[in-house]
Structure 1
Amino acid sequence: MFDLHRLRLLRELKHRGTLAAVAAALSYAPSSVSQQLSQLEAEVGVPLLEPVGRRVRLTEQAEILVAHTEAVLERLERAEADIATSLTELTGTLRIASFQTAALALIPTALGLLRDRHPLLRVHVTQLEPEKSLPALLARDFDLVLAEEYPGNPNPRSAELEQEDLLNDPLRLALPEPTSSTDGSGPMTVLRSLAHHPWVMEPDGTAARCWAMTMCRNAGFEPDVRFETTDLVLHLRLVEQGHAAAFLPDLVRSGQPPTVPLRQLPRGQRKRRVFTVVRRGASRHPAVLACRDALHRAVSSSATNCLPAHPETSA
């Protein structure tokens, strides 16, 4: 029978990419990881790794082993959930990763609900964008991730992860200064009016940046992106001071009244999807169920505090 610990090391290598990354994540020496994988190769009787330059990649047989390892780990996740369900008190540690606006608007309220209902549950929260948090979830660095998906830019769907919708977060065009010249104009006309104005956007490579660039290009212009940051609070501040135009989600306001002129976007582009993600097999764990329930309650609480933005025009 194959050693499960060594199988997990092989799985870690698939998700983390290098022996050094596996060693760093698990607090091992790289030589120890290499030795364990060599022993696994001896157990299996076929090569599991092949060199590619200075790195290694998994062979076809190694990929088969990893697929079976994922199934075993999913079963163990369910066993852990069943044991936790059998206990009268919810204990242990829940590790959450969340992108910034959800962390600001929802996490504090959700943490308060969890503390009141499950005082023995220890919750760790890390602010991390989905581009990094979802791979880290697969690598077992987190137990639950809050992620986002922009219109027309669906995320890759891993068979090893399970998603649950949390809310649809309205997206709006934030104007750097009040103007009456576009009052009554359609969303595309308002967007085109900002063709020569500086913009603030998230960095290249993010889903938000890809969506924002597509929005501007569909309006017929290449945006002058002078500011790049994943900090959407900074986006809002730059708009407030008249330095940039931006696309802002409602969550960035955390239920507070708008401080800048906001306009509606074209139909089909008005909401981003916000959802929670866990590894397959973990969705029934009481800590995950409690966290998801707390987040849904936080959404309801936030919604009651939200005020309407600028009167909206039709598409």
Structure 2
Amino acid sequence: MFELRRLRLLHELSLRGTLAAVAEALSYSPSTVSQQLTQLEKEAGVPLFAADGRGVRLTDHGELLAAHAARALQLDEQARGELDALRPQSAPVRIAVMQSAAQSLVPPALALLAAREPDLAVYVSQVPPEEGLFELSTRRYDLVVAEQYPGHTREQRPGLTRVSLGRDPIRLAVPRGGRRSHLEQLADRAWVMEPVGTAARQWATQQCRAAGFEPDVRFEIADLTAHVGLIADGVAVGMLPELVRMPTPGAVELHDLPGAPSREIFVAMREFSTRPAILAVRDALRDAFSRRHA
């Protein structure tokens, strides 16, 4: 009989690629991970790993057992969810959210939950969508609030499902009192954008190129409230989604972009996440978003 804890280590290795990454993610020592996987290999009776430089890779047997491990973990989660439904007090729910959702969506959702599920504990981590969706697959989080921009769909990860919350308009943001309100008029301005590699950066850059210029990105910052500050102080222009909280109302001018684009906000969860507490948090996020855009 395979031990579920060891199967999880194999599953993590199939996702993260190295023993060191598995150890760091699960707060184990690398030697502990190695020992447990060696024991799993003995239980399997076939080689699961092969040397690959300084690391290891999964053999065909390893890949096969990793796929079974993923299904075993799904069944474990489903069983725990059904048992949780019979308990008077639910286990905590852990969610990962991007910054704009942490600022504008999570507080009203938690207020709804306080009325609906007063005994439910929710732990919130602010992480980039790319990281959150990966860690959802590893079971670090139960729910992830993420986005996808027009023409830039997120990878569909096996075993995950999504519920769309709605559309979040994106607008051109310029200093108050400026006389330029169209994208093509800002080719000579300094820009603030999110870091290279993010969906937001890719999309914003494409908008500028479609308007006929390459943006002069002098400020590469993940914190969107910092974007607001730079724009309000007149040192940059940018593009901001509606969910971004404005520290001072009217600090910047917002103008429609060509085609009135919007990003889709969605909640992702694992397919077999049947715990009522997880579903309650998902529904509260959906209702909070609907009320904000009503």
Specify the TM-score bucket, using the shorter chain as the normaliser: over 0.9
Moved more, 245-254 or 91-100: 245-254
Query: Match of 2:153?
Result: 154
Whole-angstrom CA distance in 1 between matches of 2:97 and 2:82 = 26
- Map 1:194-213 → 2, pairs under 5 A: 194-213=186-205
- Map 1:83-98 → 2, pairs under 5 A: 83-87=83-87, 89-98=88-97
Q: Find the partner of 2:262 among 271, 275, 279.
A: 271
Whole-angstrom CA distance in 1 between matches of 2:214 and 2:86 = 57
Whole-angstrom CA distance in 2 between matches of 1:25 and 1:214 = 35
Query: Match of 1:178?
Result: 177
How much has 1:58 moved relative to structure 2? 1.6
- Pair 1:291 & 2:290 matched: no
Moved more, 157-166 or 250-259: 250-259
- Pair 1:191 & 2:191 matched: no
RMSD over aligned Cα atoms: 1.9
Question: 5+ residue gaps in structure 1?
Answer: 183-189, 305-315
Whole-angstrom CA distance in 2 between matches of 1:56 and 1:71 = 23
Query: Match of 1:115?
Result: 114
Query: Match of 1:61?
Result: 61
- Pair 1:231 & 2:230 matched: no
Query: Match of 1:25?
Result: 25
Q: Quick check: 1:213–1:223 contact (8 Å CA) kept in 2? A: yes
Q: Secondary structure at the match of 1:40?
A: helix
Whole-angstrom CA distance in 1 between matches of 2:2 and 2:118 = 40
Whole-angstrom CA distance in 1 between matches of 2:46 and 2:161 = 33
Whole-angstrom CA distance in 2 between matches of 1:258 and 1:150 = 25
Whole-angstrom CA distance in 1 between matches of 2:92 and 2:29 = 26
Q: Secondary structure at the match of 1:193?
A: helix
1:193/1:79 CA distance change after superposition, 3 Å: same
How much has 1:177 moved relative to structure 2? 4.5
Query: Match of 1:219?
Result: 211
Q: Quick check: 1:255–1:303 contact (8 Å CA) kept in 2? A: no
1:72/1:255 CA distance change after superposition, 3 Å: farther
- Pair 1:13 & 2:13 matched: yes
Query: Match of 2:77?
Result: 77
TM-score, length-scaled by structure 1 = 0.87
Count of residues in Structure 1 that have an aligned counterpart in Structure 2: 294
The amino acid across from 1:109 in the alignment is P
1:150/1:255 CA distance change after superposition, 3 Å: farther
1:255/1:229 CA distance change after superposition, 3 Å: closer
TM-score, length-scaled by structure 2 = 0.93
Q: Deviations over 1:59-92 (max 9, x none)?
A: 22212111111112112222122122223x3421
The amino acid across from 2:101 in the alignment is A
The amino acid across from 1:214 in the alignment is Q
The amino acid across from 1:226 in the alignment is R
Moved more, 226-235 or 50-59: 50-59
What fraction of aligned residue pairs are identical, expressed as a percent? 49
1:135/1:203 CA distance change after superposition, 3 Å: same
Moved more, 232-241 or 257-266: 257-266
Query: Match of 1:303?
Result: 293
Query: Match of 1:307?
Result: none
